[in-house]
């Protein structure tokens, strides 16, 4: 099955060792495409985007195996540990599906960064409420989650449709002009 499902690692400022370890964990289920890019954010020394061409849901974690996912999360936490408490690392995890679910982790504090990594799985429990058609704008193609270090939880951040962008504020979606 790994021959037909292609995951992508796009990165800069990540050591060859870190990429190799991630590659090994992903390669068991995916054909992994590596793409080293130029720095595109002066606020971060290191950046990693993991594009997973599957829907973020319980079936993904059963198929991929929770133990293997825990190992991937451990690599992310080790990457942060190696860089210290600064804005040195930004990780973006992008799941395909309708809508795409994207997690952005760019927290300075290492303990809160680790907490964000650990709590990604917990969003599964909330997804049905977050994607309730009566609460979300129509035609949403992408939803971005960011970890709120103050409340110590993943929060809806932005959503996009074909022609519109929305921000989640005060427990509702507001169109951004």
Rounded Cα–Cα distance for residues 153 and 112 (Å): 10
The whole-number pLDDT of residue 43 equals: 86
Query: What does the pLDDT read at residue 86?
Result: 74
pLDDT of 2 reads 45
Question: What's the predicted TM-score (pTM) here?
Answer: 0.93
Q: Which residues of the chain have pLDDT under 70?
A: 1-3
- For helices 66-83 and 16-27, give the axis angle rounded to 10 degrees: 170
Helices (H), 16-139: 16-27, 58-64, 66-83, 110-119, 123-130
Q: Is residue 11 part of a domain?
A: yes
Contact between 61 and 128 under an 8 Å Cβ cutoff? The reply is: no
pLDDT score recorded for residue 84: 78
Q: Does residue 1 sit within a domain?
A: no
**58 inside domain:** yes
Residues 6+ apart with CB under 8 A from 173: 135, 136, 137, 159, 166, 167
- Compute the distance between CA of residue 136 and CA of residue 113 in angstroms, rounded to an integer: 28
Instruction: Evaluate whether residue 33 is within a structural domain.
Output: yes
The pLDDT score that the predictor gives to residue 165 is 96
Q: Number of folded domains in the chain?
A: 1
> Is residue 81 one of the residues assigned to a domain?
yes
What's the confidence (pLDDT) of residue 83?
87
Q: Which domain holds residue 134?
A: 6-176
Domain for residue 53, yes or no?
Answer: yes
pLDDT at 85: 75
């Amino acid at each position: 099955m790994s021959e037909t499902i292609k995951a992508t690692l796009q990165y800069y400022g990540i050591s060859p060792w870190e990429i190799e370890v991630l590659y090994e964990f992903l390669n068991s289920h995916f054909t992994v495409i590596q793409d080293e890019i130029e720095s595109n954010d002066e606020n971060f020394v290191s950046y990693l985007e993991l594009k997973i061409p599957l829907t973020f849901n319980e079936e993904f974690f059963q198929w991929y195996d929770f133990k293997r996912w825990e190992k991937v999360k451990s690599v992310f936490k080790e990457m942060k540990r190696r860089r210290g408490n600064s804005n040195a690392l930004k990780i973006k995890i992008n799941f395909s599906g309708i809508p795409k679910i994207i997690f952005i982790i760019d927290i300075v504090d290492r303990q809160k960064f680790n907490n964000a990594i650990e709590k990604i799985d917990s969003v599964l429990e909330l997804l049905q409420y977050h994607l309730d058609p009566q609460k979300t704008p129509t035609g949403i193609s992408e939803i971005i989650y960011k970890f709120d270090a103050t409340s110590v939880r993943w929060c809806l951040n932005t959503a996009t449709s074909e022609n519109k962008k929305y921000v989640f504020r005060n427990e509702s979606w507001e169109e951004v002009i």
